[in-house]
């Protein structure tokens, strides 16, 4: 079975969402590359002409526009109000980042994600309307620590700072036991949402059994998707 082809979360993501990324430095390019690779429509924006040209050359966005994002009229003309989510990836120029975030929010974009370079910067972004603030270096450090200590976790969707949905490999200690015998709820405070089908193929539309029967036996190396407290997730056997 090809584990990488069974990604549970990619089946949950809507494919008709549109994203705009403002700021095409390393972080912004990485966001464009990932979203574009997942099949989403992405527009890249930067005030630097060479960065815009490079994004188009590398084909990591459907569209790319050079403009000054501190000018509300330029954002309106580029069609920013039509996007579902805008990522403000300007982290090193605090004033430009804050003004851009304010402009995008005032343009009516429902979901604005902004990159912050410091705690104070993050607080200012929230004050001007950012719906979500990210600290890439901090989050990369946390993710690296998790991957080193919890190698069985293949994907994670954070619901809030304390709770997540994770896609994790069934540990050897669970092999051959039924879901009822493992009793994730009582031992770890977790709820099992789905398990991978043993005979799933890469081109199958449904590779997971949702809400499996309690008498289903688990197989080491297959996948299970659980939801719950991060503390319980961290206690799962390796």
For 15-34, write each residue's pLDDT tens digit.
Answer: 568 899 999 999 999 999 98
Checking if the pLDDT of 201 tops 80, the result is no
Cα–Cα distance for residue pair 27/50, rounded to 1 Å: 16
| Residues 137-171 pLDDT 10s | 766 666 666 666 555 667 777 777 788 888 889 98
Is the separation of the CB atoms in 19 and 41 below 8 Å? yes
The architecture of the domain spanning 150-234 is 2-Layer Sandwich (3.30)
pLDDT tens for each residue of 129-144: 999 998 887 666 666 6
Of the chain, the percentage scoring pLDDT greater than 70 comes to 83
Over residues 100-113, mean pLDDT = 97
CATH number for 15-139: choose from 1.20.120.450, 3.40.50.720, 3.40.50.10490, 3.40.350.10: 3.40.50.720
Beta carbons within 8 Å of 62's beta carbon, 6+ residues apart? 36, 41, 42, 43
- State the pLDDT confidence band at 7, using cuts at 50, 70 and 90: low
Residue 203 has pLDDT above 80, yes or no: no
Q: What is the pLDDT of residue 3?
A: 41
Dist CA 83 CA 70 (whole Å): 18
Q: Are 164 and 156 in contact (CB under 8 A)?
A: yes
pLDDT on residue 6: 47
CATH fold match for the domains 15-139 and 150-234: no
What is the per-residue pLDDT for 162?
Answer: 81
Of 211, 194, 111, 181, nearest in space to 155 by CA: 194
Whether 4 shows a pLDDT value over 60: the answer reads no
Question: What is the average per-residue pLDDT within 185-214?
Answer: 81
Per-domain boundaries in the chain? 15-139, 150-234
pLDDT at 157: 76
Q: What is the pLDDT of residue 207?
A: 80
3-class SS shares of the chain: helix, strand, coil, % to 5: 40, 25, 35
Are 74 and 10 within 8 A, CB to CB? Answer: no
List the single range of 9-13, 62-66, 216-220 with lowest mean pLDDT: 9-13
Q: If 0-12 CB within 10 Å is exposed, 13-18 middle and 19+ buried, where does residue 174 land?
A: buried
Digit-coded pLDDT (tens) for 59-97: 999 999 999 999 999 999 999 999 999 999 997 789 999
Does 2 score more than 90 pLDDT? no
Q: Check pLDDT > 80 for residue 12.
A: no
H or E stretch including 226? strand 223-229
User: Any residues with CB less than 8 A from the CB of 178 and at least 6 apart, and which?
Assistant: 214, 215, 216, 217, 218
Determine the Cα–Cα distance for residues 175 and 171; give it in Å rounded to an integer.
7
User: DSSP of 172-225, one letter per residue?
Assistant: GGGTT-BHHHH-HHHHHSEEEEEEE-TT--TT-S--EEES--TTPBP-TTSEEE
């Amino acid at each position: 079975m090809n584990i990488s082809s069974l990604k549970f979360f990619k089946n949950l993501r809507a494919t008709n969402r549109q994203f705009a990324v403002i700021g095409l430095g390393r972080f912004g390019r990485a966001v464009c590359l990932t979203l574009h690779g997942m099949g989403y429509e992405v527009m890249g924006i930067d005030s630097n002409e060479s960065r815009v040209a490079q994004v188009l050359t590398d084909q990591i966005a459907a569209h790319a526009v050079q403009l000054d994002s501190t000018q509300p009229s330029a954002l309106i003309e580029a069609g920013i109000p039509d996007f579902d989510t805008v990522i403000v990836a300007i982290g090193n120029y605090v004033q430009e980042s804050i003004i851009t975030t304010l402009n995008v929010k005032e343009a009516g974009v429902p979901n604005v994600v902004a990159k912050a370079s410091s705690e104070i910067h993050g607080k200012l972004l929230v004050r001007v309307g950012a719906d979500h603030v990210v600290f890439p270096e901090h989050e990369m450090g946390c993710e690296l620590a998790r991957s080193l200590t919890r190698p069985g976790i293949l994907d994670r969707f954070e619901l809030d700072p304390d709770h997540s949905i994770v896609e994790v490999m069934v540990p050897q200690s669970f092999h051959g036991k039924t879901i009822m015998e493992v009793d994730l709820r009582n031992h770890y405070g977790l709820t099992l949402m789905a398990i991978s089908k043993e005979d799933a193929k890469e081109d199958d539309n449904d590779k997971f059994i949702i809400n499996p029967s309690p008498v289903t036996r688990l197989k080491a190396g297959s996948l299970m998707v659980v939801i719950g407290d991060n503390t319980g997730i961290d206690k799962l056997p390796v």
